[in-house]
A and B are shown apart, each in its own frame.
Chain A
């Protein structure tokens, strides 16, 4: 009897550990030093009214929108996967938009150097709007406000993810939209 209880208990504990761990151990990557070339980057900065049309485009493309920041380690870790998607699915009508939530005081010291250092090919915009209680639920009703967060949408369908991705997971999600 005791043994069975133990076995059942272990099963229960084992089950708990099977919860998907959405974030992996990552090293913090920040660009503290000013990268050559970063001064010339023209950063587009939007408040929510400015961003809204960019994340609700009514064209025939598949849009992948990722909310990130240079200080967010899991975001920085998955950023290359979005870059791969941007490159690999360009001819499949897929467009990636990277929405940075870096603080304005860090645009020149962190964000632009990061963009320059990692030679980001996807479109990057900076999003600066302090009225978060307005725009977080407007972007998605289920978003608690943690980043990274991602939207994949086209004219027919819109999915929101408050989580990190691996390359494979991101492509699998995207594949639902590819015909």
Chain B
């Protein structure tokens, strides 16, 4: 009997691990429920999505200090939070890189950048790099828009902030703004997934 228990346990563990150990390319698709987390902010406090009782959803941005594309988008990320936090969609920025590989993304550097740029949103560290693989983020910047539903935080959009990293003034389509505006109106997001070049997340 005991052997049977052990055997079944082994089988269960194997099955569970088969689903847990996903290749890097996997992650959330639009419609999936996103995991909550408890990650350290630059002020030393732990932040979770569940802390935001009033939020209708979230603009989760995997970003960092050192990637030129992420840097090019800093002001636009700040603008997104200013525009949408009060409407119920705050920006939650998560720095996913291994800071041993990228010291320019360490806590001190993150604090300095947040201060210099006037970040109005949490800038969290994915310590241990457990969260970004679950989301399926592959690069910085990489955006996930979540809508709070009864089932949980549902992924509504994955991809780029807009269609011109180089020049905010030349943007034709603001993917994230369009998606959040639609969600606030109770509609169905039209462009659910976009791609953009970014810096691979450093492991």
A binds B: yes
How far is it, in angstroms, between the C-alpha of A21 and the C-alpha of B129 when the chains are bound?
13
* Shortest beta-carbon distance from A135 to chain B in Å: 9
Q: Pick out which of these stretches binds chain A: B37-45, B109-117, B144-152, B195-203.
A: B195-203
Chain B residues whose CB sits within 8 angstroms of the CB of A147 once the complex forms:
197-200
Chain B residues whose CB sits within 8 angstroms of the CB of A33 once the complex forms:
none
B120 within 8 A of A: no
Chain A residues whose CB sits within 8 angstroms of the CB of B10 once the complex forms:
8
A-B interface contact total, Cβ < 8 Å: 98
How far is it, in angstroms, between the C-alpha of A11 and the C-alpha of B20 when the chains are bound?
13
Contact of A130 with B163 in the complex, beta carbons under 8 Å? yes
Contact of A72 with B199 in the complex, beta carbons under 8 Å? yes
Q: Pick out which of these stretches binds chain A: B28-36, B53-61, B164-172, B180-188.
A: B164-172
Instruction: Say which size band chain B's interface belongs to.
Output: 35 or more
How far is it, in angstroms, between the C-alpha of A137 and the C-alpha of B195 when the chains are bound?
8
* Shortest beta-carbon distance from B194 to chain A in Å: 4
A81 within 8 A of B: no
How far is it, in angstroms, between the C-alpha of A136 and the C-alpha of B196 when the chains are bound?
7
Q: Pick out which of these stretches binds chain B: A12-20, A44-52, A115-123.
A: A12-20
**24 A-B contacts, Cβ less than 8 Å apart?**
A1-B2, A1-B5, A8-B10, A8-B13, A11-B13, A19-B24, A22-B203, A23-B200, A23-B203, A25-B101, A103-B68, A103-B166, A130-B163, A130-B165, A130-B166, A131-B164, A132-B197, A133-B175, A133-B195, A145-B197, A146-B138, A146-B201, A147-B197, A148-B200
Residues of B at the A interface (CB closer than 8 Å) are: 2, 5-6, 9-10, 13, 16-17, 20-21, 23-25, 67-68, 100-101, 138-139, 159-160, 163-167, 170, 175, 194-203
The 5 residue pairs across chains A and B that have the minimum distance between CB atoms: A146-B139, A136-B195, A146-B200, A144-B138, A133-B194
Residues of A at the B interface (CB closer than 8 Å) are: 1, 4-5, 8-9, 11-12, 15-16, 19, 21-23, 25-26, 69, 71-74, 101, 103-104, 130-133, 136-137, 142-148, 162, 164
